[in-house]
């Protein structure tokens, strides 16, 4: 199924609204998962997600104990006007992506 049909086009959330909303969501309302066998760079993943109406709010690199992590913060709006906020963690050379959705 093409998930882009369930998402609204041009549903880019303002960065300040994203940050405020992310902080207000209780930890119990966050879904954590891992996606394996990913063979995309962060730029390729971002392009594919943007094409499916999942938009990038911010990207940053973090050095975590000598391991470079790329973090992407994404938003999508469902056709019933519910916002999805997501954090993707990708490590160079790894085929696993950690996903947190609120």
pLDDT at 1: 42
Handedness of CA 70, 27, 57, 52 (dihedral sign): positive
What are the b/e assignments for 20-44, b being 16+ CB within 10 Å?
A: eebeeeeeeeeeeeeeeeeeeebee
Express as a percent the part of the chain with pLDDT over 70: 89
61: exposed, middle or buried (Cβ count in 10 Å: 0-12, 13-18, 19+)? exposed
Torsion-angle region of 14 (φ positive above 0: left; ψ -120 to 50: alpha; else: beta) = beta
The ranges assigned to domains in the chain are 3-101
CATH homologous superfamily of 3-101 equals TATA-Binding Protein (3.30.310.10)
21-50 per-position pLDDT tens digit: 888 888 888 899 999 999 998 899 999 999
């Amino acid at each position: 199924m093409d998930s882009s049909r369930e998402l609204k086009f041009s549903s880019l959330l303002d960065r300040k609204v994203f940050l405020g909303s992310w902080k207000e969501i209780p930890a119990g309302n966050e879904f954590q998962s891992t996606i394996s066998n990913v063979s995309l760079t962060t730029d390729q993943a971002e392009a594919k997600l943007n094409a499916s109406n999942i938009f990038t709010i911010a990207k940053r690199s973090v050095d975590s104990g000598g391991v470079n992590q790329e973090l992407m913060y994404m938003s999508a709006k469902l056709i019933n006007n519910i916002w999805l906020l997501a954090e993707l963690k990708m490590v160079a050379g790894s085929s696993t992506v950690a996903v947190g959705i609120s």
